[in-house]
Chain A
């Protein structure tokens, strides 16, 4: 780890906060009335994903955490762990389900994902804003919802069920926001 001061802060940088790796989501300078300069930050915990505010004294030293981003192929899941492989050296890496989070519903075997690694352990994952996924089974329309257009529930290739507009058919490819699990658009038809 390298010691830096607040003057070296950059958006996206990883630092140690309360003994845990955090990413600087946002930072700005503030001067309280008749007070010294301070740096107000929004820090995202790599472990829990929780974002919190913290105000540093200007010039305060913090530990920067060296984080490496690896492109890895998702292989399989056992228990609470997801296994990924580095295609360069075929080494495998276990990623805890807490790090994968909601994304577990949309992760596909054989696809490449970005894993954030600190001291040989996975501390985070970068998720795409959109995932393209195939509809494998389609049910009937849900009754009653006429205000915003009728909706129905379909099953996608990862086995998860999601709500989509009526016109979606089995075999279509749709785009989903992996963070919220919300249907975005149809991107391919059978």
Chain B
């Protein structure tokens, strides 16, 4: 049965879906209060930031003579927003659709999804950590009031208000999480030590070839993982991370901010001045759900150009669709991007969290899985 049919049959289901509009409304409230601009950037682009782990949707633009030009659907609004930052827009946010091909067959991904990005100028990732804590609490309070108020009496409303002030607990799949700040903060090397009993030094070198495959492969093999020749440092590392570290993130009563990622996963983030093996990047998890990915933004044109070339090379090896790299983005960096920090948050995942559902398809009126059974 399609979702619209289920809704027609059982009108009680609407409530779960209306959580989305409430979340989007409270995100706008939050950023307007913070005096952020809301921007709109294109979904249809002639070039993209080459990222080795993302597959793109490719299409063609036809001009009036039906001459074809290759175009791509945006995998995120990041490059476009950064051009606006260079132009001087200041603090800003966007709520938009993004598209990532091949991400089917999963409860956590829909190839077309809704993304929130915001950028704070003059800030680093620590400032955005605090933004996350405040934003999620704001959403929580809006939803809680909305849900309970719609049918509550006056005395009950007062009680609810007090409860919202005293108690910031959310329940996701039986896991109770206290959303009040401060959240748990743990670095990737610390988490690796704590949960997988590996020191970061064991799987890297402090200089020279920092991410030696031999070192990480050795540790993985000792733990019983199967390592093949074709596997990269990132794959071997992430398999250990996903099996041994991730199950602990945001599941011990508090949301978790996990920060300082290994350089092979730096993407567009700035390298740490105190340790060149790590990048100023964090993710936050609530009840095991990965919700957001933040960087202190890389503003160095030369470094970004180098990463473009590296990512293009890996894309080719992995057999990904060849893309035109966004040279205009490099041009913008060259013109000078202000120091800033930005984050991408999955709105569909936020709906999953607040609707207490384990499948992203249950948050969408028209999940892709209904079109492609």
Please give 12 more A-B residue pairs, beta carbons under 8 A apart, in addition to A29-B103, A60-B226: A29-B105, A29-B106, A34-B51, A34-B53, A34-B266, A38-B238, A38-B239, A55-B239, A55-B242, A55-B243, A57-B236, A60-B228
Contact status A30-B108, CB under 8 Å: yes
CA distance A81 to B265 in the complex (A): 53
Q: Given A29-B105, A55-B239, answer yes or no on A61-B228 (Cβ-Cβ < 8 Å).
A: yes
* B-to-A contact residues, CB < 8 Å: 51, 53, 102-109, 224, 226, 228, 230-232, 234-236, 238-239, 241-243, 246-247, 261, 265-267, 283, 290, 293
Contact status B107-A33, CB under 8 Å: no
**B residues less than 8 Å from A55 (CB atoms):** 239, 242-243
CA distance A37 to B102 in the complex (A): 10
Contact status A34-B226, CB under 8 Å: no
* A contacts with B: majority SS: strand
Q: Which residue of B lies closest to A58 (CB)?
A: B235
Q: Which residue of B lies closest to A18 (CB)?
A: B224
Contact status A30-B53, CB under 8 Å: no
Q: Which of B104, B107, B241 contacts A32 (CB 8 A)?
A: B241
- Number of A-B pairs whose CB atoms are under 8 Å? 67
Q: Which residue of B lies closest to A17 (CB)?
A: B224
**B residues less than 8 Å from A30 (CB atoms):** 106, 108-109, 242
Contact with B along A13-45 (1 / 0, CB 8 A): 000001000000000111111111110100000
CA distance A30 to B103 in the complex (A): 8
Contact status B104-A29, CB under 8 Å: yes
Query: Within the complex, what minimum Cβ distance (angstroms) separates B119 from chain A?
Result: 17
CA distance A30 to B349 in the complex (A): 13
Contact status B224-A35, CB under 8 Å: no
Query: Within the complex, what minimum Cβ distance (angstroms) separates B152 from chain A?
Result: 31
27 contacts between A and B (CB under 8 A): A28-B107, A28-B108, A29-B103, A29-B109, A30-B109, A31-B103, A31-B106, A33-B265, A33-B290, A34-B266, A34-B293, A35-B53, A35-B234, A36-B53, A36-B235, A37-B53, A37-B102, A38-B238, A38-B239, A54-B243, A55-B243, A57-B235, A57-B236, A59-B230, A60-B226, A60-B228, A61-B226
